[in-house]
Amino acid sequence: YHSRKRSSKVERAPATMMNADMDAVEAENQVELEEKTRLINQVLELQHTLEDLSARVDAVKEENLKLKSENQVLGQYIENLMSASSVFQTTDTKSKRK
């Protein structure tokens, strides 16, 4: 009976070591899984940020084109007003003196 009990204790020791090794591997796998999950979430967040920035750039480009067009219209309008106004007409001082 004693020999059987001793042998089972000896057999348990390797099993306990295997369980400890398996627990360590499982813990390491859990850490890796958490790290992968964190990295995936970070990548997704960066993708959303990039999409938002791209949309913002497109909106700014469109607004810039509208403002350029408005500036051209206003510039032409001001030019027309200046050419029609006598205040902005050049005077020939030589012909007035004669």
Domain locations in the chain as residue ranges? 19-85
**What is the C-alpha separation between 24 and 30, in angstroms, rounded?**
10
User: Which helix (H) or strand (E) segment is 96 a member of?
Assistant: helix 93-97
The reply to whether the predicted model has a pTM over 0.75 is: no
Q: Residue 1 has what pLDDT? A: 47
The CA distances from residue 29 to 21, 35, 94, 98, in Å, are 12, 10, 96, 102
Low-confidence ranges of the chain (pLDDT < 50): 1-5, 7-10, 98
Distance CA 72, CA 7 (A): 97
